[in-house]
Amino acid sequence: MYLKQGCSLLLKTRKPTIPFVLTTNPNLIPTKRPETEPQDRIFIDEFDVSARLEAEPNIVLALDYFKSVANSNAFKHTTLTYKIMIEKLGRENQVDGVQYLLQQMKLEGVRCSEDLFISVINSYKRLGMGDQALKMFYRITEFGCEPSVKIYNHVLDALLSENRFEMITNMYKNMRRDGLEPNVYTYNVLLKALCKRKRMDAACRLLSEMSKKGCDPDAVSYTTVVSSLCRSGKVEEARKLAGSFRPNVPVPVYNAIIDGFCREYKMEAAFQMLQEMVDAGVGPNVITYSTIINALSDAGNVELALAVLGKMFVRGCGANCHTFASLMKGYFMSGKLSDALELWHGIIREGSELNVVVYNTLIHGLCSYGKVGEALSVCFEMERNGFSPTLTTYSTLIDGFAKDGDLVGATETWNKMITNGYIPNVVVYTCMVDVLCRNSMFNQAYCLVETMASKNCPPNIVTFNTFIKGLCRNGRVDWAMKMLFQMQQYGCSPNVTTYNELLHGLLGANRIKQAFQLVAEMEEKRIELNIVTYNTILCGLRQAGMSGEVLKLVGKMLIAGTGPDAITFNQVIHAFCKLGKIETAIQLVDRMRTRGEWYPDVIAYTSLLWGVCNWNGVEAASMYLDKMLSEGICPNFASWNVLVRGLFSNLGHLGPLVVLDDILA
């Protein structure tokens, strides 16, 4: 399957610059008499030209008309008509055209207004050309315009959008040297810059100093600082700060604090803030309710989320597409596929507003249930309804195909994504690495990893872990070990997941010594062993028949403060039975069940059946079979195999039982 690559396919092509040397079209100019009769020539009014330019949606036709009018000698372009044309070119990202018209204005002596200059600055901002915006600012007087607070503000905002913090500081100093007093917009840009740099103390100080300088903070000021404090985990501090806003705390500030509590899942505090809003006479809006509904849905508490939705309707606040998307996500996360689809069909029946977020939520939910074909159908429906798939859409579909091991589906989606001009991000690349590994195409997967770096999208730790996992699960452990060292060349440090995958590969190949060397390396690098690490090692020791070492490692695990889980207990039961310590295994099961810390499953009972059959006889084992059935645990093939082999062994038809190691396989 061919995977599209290359800069021409991975990068959006820049729109061609519209040529300014156009043939004048006389049909665009209203005339009554030939040009030989100048006394009867009609002059065009500024209002007519500006209206015609505003109404023309086609940029080429608008520019053609603009040139034709200028060449007709029936009209001399004004600041207004230049502004309209420059704004149109700016929206189309035609910066060369903008520069041309600015130069033309300069030659014709047409003054550049403050609003026009701001339009030019914003055009550069949209294109991420902060440097160019700054250069234009320093040439402002050439165009008959003087620096103002408003212009400074927009230049500062352009620099902020690119995180040019040092330049922002210098521009602010220049502004003060020019004798211009900052207004609330200026301070809000500075507050955002400080918050982006996580300098919360400085932002709080500036907020308090604004009033002293005769510029009272507004809702944007407080929302900026409060939101950043909440994102930094300082919700109570944000709540205290919000209380200083006078006369009333605005809705956006309340919403920021509620969002902060929801991020930490402090739902009681979030509900208290909601009630505080109502008591203060500040009506919660759809964002307020949707934030709470989203947090409850993320936690799988859809019932309470629905109750909040009901309260929302009672208070006369309608839901939007984000509200429904949150509920749908909650249903999917709670394992309620049918309810999620019923909600979707209800949204369609009611004719509620749809957007890309709702479609992406449905696509992601279907893919999480392995219904990638249905998700693809939803994507096609989304396009038919006029919504273009986003990078998230393609990423979700590719991930779904990857989990199914469907290389064809993943590749076709990738190629469509590239054809539509999207640049793959690290998530999409990693999904493709995954699907290639699942199809044992490791050379192609490795080439894709190398391609990422060359496309200014370096692989991250998840990418390397995905590749290493694929190699280890396919027995390519040596190659995986090489990747452990190579990943550091890309600035990626291995984490516990990396080592867990490598341990799984080494232990699966019975390379016990090398596995323990890797564990020593983890400890040397102070990478904490987690429950997955311990269980991986326990499984490897069990497969190697080192039951005594299993019990020693469990002891070390408990001393390290890592709590056992069901896999750990099953490994311990297996080890005790293998060593003939049946009574100890039985006591462990009874003690854990009594404490409510763990309830034996079919694997644990099958190990016990093997141990009892092998050391005590089949009749003793039948008691545990009855106990197993009474607890609603259905024996599997391995369970019956143990009993049958035990029965025949007692009759002398078979040798000693040898099936225990197959129980946990």
Token couple for 56: 């023309």
Q: What is the pLDDT, as a whole number, of residue 25?
A: 38
Q: Nearest-CA neighbor of 592 among 562, 559, 569?
A: 569
Instruction: Render 418-445 in DSSP notation, one character per residue.
Output: HHTTPPP-HHHHHHHHHHHHHTT-HHHH
| Region 388-404 average pLDDT | 94
The pLDDT-based confidence of 344 (bands split at 50, 70, 90) is: very high
Q: Is residue 192 situated within a structural domain? A: yes
- Asked whether residue 5 carries a pLDDT value surpassing 60, the answer given is no
Which residue segment(s) compose the domain that 234 sits in? 182-263
Lowest mean pLDDT among 241-245, 274-278, 523-527: 241-245
Average per-residue pLDDT for the chain: 87
**Regarding predicted confidence, which is higher, 211 or 272?**
272
**Regarding predicted confidence, which is higher, 571 or 8?**
571
| Region 310-339 average pLDDT | 93
Q: Is residue 187 situated within a structural domain? A: yes
The CATH number linked to 186 is 1.25.40.10
Q: What is the pLDDT, as a whole number, of residue 641?
A: 85
Q: What is the pLDDT, as a whole number, of residue 161?
A: 92
Q: What is the pLDDT, as a whole number, of residue 16?
A: 41
The pLDDT-based confidence of 24 (bands split at 50, 70, 90) is: very low
Q: Nearest-CA neighbor of 97 among 140, 141, 72, 62?
A: 62
Residue 560: CB atoms within 10 Å: 10
The string of pLDDT tens digits covering residues 6-22 is: 432 222 333 444 444 33
Q: Kindly report the CA angle at 633 between 557 and 369, in degrees rounded to 5?
A: 80
Q: Give the global pTM.
A: 0.73
Q: Is residue 108 situated within a structural domain? A: no
Q: Nearest-CA neighbor of 149 among 109, 112, 189?
A: 189
Q: Is residue 438 situated within a structural domain? A: no
How is residue 189 annotated by DSSP? H
The string of pLDDT tens digits covering residues 351-362 is: 888 899 999 999
- Say what angle helices 149-161 and 130-138 make with each other, to 10 degrees: 160
- Asked whether residue 221 carries a pLDDT value surpassing 90, the answer given is yes
Q: Which residues of 452-473 are buried (b: 16+ CB within 10 A; e: fewer)?
A: beebebebbbbbbbbbbbbbbb
- Asked whether residue 559 carries a pLDDT value surpassing 80, the answer given is yes
Lowest mean pLDDT among 242-246, 266-270, 377-381, 659-663: 659-663
Q: What is the pLDDT, as a whole number, of residue 72?
A: 82
> Alpha-carbon distance 341 to 332, whole Å?
9
Q: What is the pLDDT, as a whole number, of residue 329?
A: 95
Q: Is 210 exposed, middle or buried (0-12, 13-18, 19+ CB in 10 A)?
A: buried
- Asked whether residue 363 carries a pLDDT value surpassing 60, the answer given is yes
Number of domains in the chain: 1
Q: Is residue 548 situated within a structural domain? A: no
The string of pLDDT tens digits covering residues 506-551 is: 999 999 999 999 999 999 999 999 999 999 999 999 888 898 899 9
Q: Is residue 55 situated within a structural domain? A: no
Q: Is residue 223 situated within a structural domain? A: yes
Q: Is residue 460 situated within a structural domain? A: no
Q: What is the pLDDT, as a whole number, of residue 466?
A: 96
The string of pLDDT tens digits covering residues 459-480 is: 999 999 999 999 999 999 999 9
> Alpha-carbon distance 95 to 179, whole Å?
31
Which residue has tokens 């009609």? 42
Query: For a pLDDT cut of 70, what percent of the chain falls above it?
Result: 91
Q: What is the pLDDT, as a whole number, of residue 35?
A: 46
Q: What is the pLDDT, as a whole number, of residue 658?
A: 42
Q: What is the pLDDT, as a whole number, of residue 30?
A: 43
